[in-house]
């Protein structure tokens, strides 16, 4: 038996996404910039997919730019806002301590380039306090970046409140919605975000394609030099198949979303209850305001990496934190920012489920994990 329970790392390509992509990988191979029939057909598909994606997010098609994924979208958003702020004499940036490294590392790079950076602390449950943000805002603040939902502990941030606060102070607000898109309702017509990043492979779309939302009125900065693709701001031949897959996957993921969320939450809660019976176990993050399928759970006196390798041998795929940080010797920056000691942070697993998981999957994890924890503790003791 093989159980995949690391949906926050990546998801399997959905059937509707594959059906949307397949023609553009084989028979319809035209360059969208070409003027002849094959090129016009590809251009039509790109713009149709842009319209579908925009409608699903409550945005305008001209506000969406396709990227290679969430990392590129995050990098672009921060640089765009920083350069726009610098032109107005604003060189102060604010990010939360639990951001994805695509945001944190870009912010640190900008700091080395002469910008001023404030890293906002979070509460023990991983939430950013609007009061703390208001204290950190300065007359020269150009950007605030706070993720919609955390990739390790699943905590959902008060992004509407944070965005409203930024709008009142005339500060651009970016939210990394890579974990949220396709799993939580996002309505950009009401969400006071100026910039938003997403990535298709988190909601059963293909890898290597994402998008950046740039609110109308915010001037994009050119990301890549070259041709006139993406209205001249991101050069390079468009990934037509990936773009088609992104739109189809997002549409499919949001269909009957409330029912899916209830089912996934029930599986997660059942598993959490059973795993908390293991002595020395604890859950990280906000128990209410979190993604439906996320379970960040630690087991004192057990190394999470040893545990996940043991589980892999038993046919269970989980994570010891963010997939992009796998192999890192340092404890999770997210967990330590929330106040966990390094040993407890290193003892934490991330189990992430979605609608493709079953009761049998949960039962198997609940059967194997207690014995695995006991075995590793006995070996260490």
Query: Is the alpha carbon torsion for 361, 366, 369, 375 positive or negative?
Result: negative
Strand (E) or helix (H) holding 4: strand 3-4
How long is the chain? 381
Give the up-direction half-sphere exposure of residue 276: CA atoms within 13 A in the CB hemisphere. 11
Nearest to 53 by CA among 190, 252, 271, 207: 252
Q: What are phi and psi of 238, to 5 degrees?
A: -65, 145
Q: Which of 324, 325, 328, 366 is catalytic?
A: 324
Active site residue 166: no
- Rounded distance between C-alpha atoms, residue 148 and residue 59, angstroms: 17
Give the Cα separation of 18 and 174 in Å (integer). Answer: 30
Chain Cα centroid distance, residue 153: 12
93, containing H or E segment: strand 92-96
What is the 3-state composition of the chain as percent helix, strand, coil, each rounded to the nearest 5? 45, 15, 40
Residue 72 structure tokens: 């590129």
Distance separating alpha carbons of residues 179 and 156, to the nearest angstrom: 10
- Angle at the Cα of 195 from the Cα atoms of 284 and 111, rounded to 5 degrees: 75
72 CB neighbour count, 10 Å cutoff: 22
Nearest-angstrom CA–CA distance, 7 and 177: 15
* Helices and strands counted in the chain (H then E): 12, 12
Q: Would you please indicate which residues are annotated as catalytic (active-site) residues?
A: 324
């Amino acid at each position: 038996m093989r159980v995949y329970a690391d949906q926050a790392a990546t998801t399997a390509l959905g059937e509707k996404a594959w059906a949307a992509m397949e023609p553009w990988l084989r028979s319809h191979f035209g360059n969208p910039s070409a003027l002849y029939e094959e090129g016009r057909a590809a251009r039509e598909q790109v713009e149709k997919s842009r319209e579908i994606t925009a409608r699903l997010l409550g945005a305008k098609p001209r506000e969406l730019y396709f990227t290679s994924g969430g990392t590129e979208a995050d990098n672009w958003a921060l640089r765009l806002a920083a350069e726009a702020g610098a032109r107005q004499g604003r060189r102060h940036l604010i990010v939360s301590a639990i951001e994805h490294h695509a945001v944190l590392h870009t912010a640190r790079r900008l700091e080395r380039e002469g910008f001023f950076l404030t890293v906002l602390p979070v509460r023990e449950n991983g939430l950013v306090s609007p009061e703390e943000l208001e204290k950190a805002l300065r007359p020269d603040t150009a950007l605030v970046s706070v993720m919609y939902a955390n990739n390790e502990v699943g905590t959902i941030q008060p992004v509407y409140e944070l965005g409203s606060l930024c709008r009142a102070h005339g500060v651009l607000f970016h939210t990394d919605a890579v974990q949220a898109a396709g799993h939580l309702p996002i309505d950009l017509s009401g969400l006071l975000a100026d910039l938003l990043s997403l990535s298709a492979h988190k909601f059963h779309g293909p890898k290597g394609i994402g998008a950046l939302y740039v609110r109308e009125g915010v001037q994009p900065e050119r990301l890549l030099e070259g041709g006139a693709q993406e209205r001249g701001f991101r050069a390079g031949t468009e990934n037509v198949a990936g773009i088609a897959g992104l739109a189809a996957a997002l549409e499919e993921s949001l269909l009957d979303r409330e029912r899916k969320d209830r089912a996934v939450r029930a599986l997660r809660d059942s598993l959490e209850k059973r795993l908390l019976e293991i002595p020395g176990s604890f859950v990280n993050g906000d128990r209410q305001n979190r993604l439906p399928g996320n379970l960040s759970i630690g087991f004192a006196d057990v190394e999470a990496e040893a545990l996940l390798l043991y589980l892999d041998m038993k046919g269970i795929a989980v994570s010891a934190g963010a997939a992009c940080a796998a192999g890192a010797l340092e404890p999770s920056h997210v967990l330590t920012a929330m106040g966990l000691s390094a040993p407890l942070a290193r003892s934490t697993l991330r189990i992430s489920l979605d609608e493709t998981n079953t009761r049998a999957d949960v039962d198997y994890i609940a059967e194997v994990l207690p014995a695995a924890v006991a075995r590793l503790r006995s070996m260490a003791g």
